[in-house]
Structure 1
């Protein structure tokens, strides 16, 4: 996976004050913003991005008393991804009792000045999420900090993008074709209806089924049309026809030969 990583050494991170708690997997990722003013000039000068990440770490360690910066990864407007605490380490930014459920990814936008993430920043956030899925066991959920915690974070602009399913800029919502022999890992939850289930994992499965000819929309909502498509596919593949996307049905969506 191509990702423009800025290592902790490269951005001059301070050493953590203690040992991280270990994470082996999460439900997904929560997206954050800085919560303060970000000067728009940061988009013209990557050194400003480095300085901001360092200042956030200082605030978290010296102001909050945390052992390190609270975020797992940080994305800037130059499509560079800074390593914060990194994969398999418990973040601190999601809120009390919420950190073990999701990794925390910060986008360098704020509540004043630069409030609209550019396309490169959105790509960076998605690069960070893909990296955490690949190396840290992150699940398919992409949520905003305000989901489950009383806060304005990640701001209305960034949150609107999250609520749309966090699509790749210019690429729509359909995931790219998987490499031969490779496909997205089963998300770990059963996709079923009723009630309607929503999420990035639903959209990923729907997009693959559309490629197989199913007459459904990749809208991220598993409802009656998705269940009908699932039932038809399961019968075609000789699987238990229950309309539920479990691991066998998920894997078969990519691995079964096209008829």
Structure 2
């Protein structure tokens, strides 16, 4: 499971939101405002930003971030209020007591389509709320029982299908094709040009610039990748050793 607990990304360990013993199930939400795809390294900060904006909302008077979980496009499920805490996102007091709330970091524009990783993260959050928060089996959207477009048509279509975990496998057209090194080299050189003395001189005379050193770039990149791969193998070995202790 890709659960990120509150303390792991800089929130107080426990939410001050009201206790709730159990729920009918879980409602799926989206942000409902423009949202752009971002590097994974920025997601935790964005979730903290959402919490800060909720706490600053004097009209709603939130005690914490409104959602029980927030899930980024990369699949991490960030614990918001968490299990056994009443949500503040479903529309009114009765709806907040009826179901938990899981929010996907999707917007009304920009990033609007959930990734497979995100769908897995939403299911991870739901599983955690069932296991640790006594959530029932029902899964719906924010719009179920409340007048809103949330969680957006693409995500709601998935909810209506029963919120299944993605199981798509690459079709033959999508599978990567393994090419011989000689063919890869031919394609690369045809696309970028090959540096040699005669071609260099002609390029300098015509444009004042040299042709890119494609061979040097490719071999340098290969060496860098090999070094990174070796370091990753060492890291995996260390992690496995720690795991076995």
Structure 2 length normalisation: TM-score? Answer: 0.64
For 1:9 and 1:121, locate their aligned partners in 2 and report how far apart those are by CA, in whole Å. 21
Once the two structures are superposed, residues 220-250 of structure 1 have per-residue CA deviations (whole angstroms, 9 ceiling, x without a partner) of xxxxxxxxxxxxxxxxxxxxxxxxxxxxxxx
**CA root-mean-square deviation:** 1.8
Once the two structures are superposed, residues 30-82 of structure 1 have per-residue CA deviations (whole angstroms, 9 ceiling, x without a partner) of 00001111112x2xx11221122111101111024311000001111222111
CA contact (8 A) 1:15 1:68 kept: no
Equivalent residue for 1:5?
Answer: 3
Question: Does residue 160 of the first structure (1) align with residue 154 of the second (2)?
Answer: no
CA contact (8 A) 2:6 2:13 kept: no
Equivalent residue for 2:72?
Answer: 76
Q: Count residues in correspondence.
A: 166
Q: Structure 1 segments of 4 or more deviating over 3 A?
A: none
Equivalent residue for 1:47?
Answer: 41
Greater per-residue helix proportion: 2
Between the two structures, name the one with larger relative contact order (CA 8 Å, sep ≥ 6): 2
Question: Does residue 103 of the first structure (1) align with residue 100 of the second (2)?
Answer: yes
Equivalent residue for 1:144?
Answer: 141
What aligned pairs does 1:111-122 form with structure 2 within 5 A after superposition?
A: 111-122=108-119
What aligned pairs does 1:1-259 form with structure 2 within 5 A after superposition?
A: 3-13=1-11, 19-40=16-37, 42=38, 45-63=39-57, 64-96=60-92, 97-170=94-167
Q: CA deviation at 1:171?
A: 6.5
SS at match of 2:100: strand
Q: CA deviation at 1:19?
A: 3.6
For 2:31 and 2:124, locate their aligned partners in 1 and report how far apart those are by CA, in whole Å. 19
Q: Which runs of 5+ in 1 are unaligned?
A: 173-259
Q: CA deviation at 1:22?
A: 1.3
Q: CA deviation at 1:128?
A: 0.5
